[in-house]
C-alpha cells in the first residue's frame, strides 16, 4: 500500500469557513472532513480547492468535498 502526502497552504480565514470552535488546526479540519466521508461509506473522496489563496477577488473561496458515501 502506498501513501501520498498532501501539501497545501491554508489561509487563516479557513478556520472561519470550517468552524473555529470545532477544529483549531487547519490540516486536521481537512482530514476530518475526508474521514467523515469515509465514515459515510465513501469509497472515493475528491477535494477541490477553488480560489483559496484569494487570487481572484471576484470569486469566492471554496473547498468542495465530494464522496460517493451516504
CA distance linking residue 49 with residue 60, whole number of Å: 11
CA distance linking residue 62 with residue 37, whole number of Å: 18
pTM of the complete model beyond 0.75: no
CB-based contacts of 18, cutoff 8 Å, min separation 6: 26, 29, 33, 63
pLDDT at 38: 86
Q: What are the E-state strand segments in 1-70?
A: 45-50, 62-67
DSSP 17: H
| Residue 5 pLDDT exceeds 80 | no
pLDDT at 70: 87
CA distance linking residue 24 with residue 36, whole number of Å: 17
Tell me the three state secondary structure of residue 65.
Answer: strand
Amino acid at each position: 500500500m502506498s501513501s501520498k502526502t498532501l501539501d497545501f497552504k491554508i489561509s487563516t480565514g479557513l478556520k472561519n469557513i470550517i468552524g473555529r470552535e470545532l477544529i483549531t488546526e487547519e490540516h486536521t479540519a481537512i482530514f476530518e472532513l475526508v474521514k467523515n466521508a469515509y465514515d459515510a461509506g465513501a469509497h472515493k473522496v475528491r477535494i477541490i480547492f477553488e480560489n483559496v489563496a484569494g487570487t481572484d477577488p471576484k470569486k469566492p473561496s471554496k473547498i468542495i468535498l465530494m464522496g460517493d458515501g451516504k
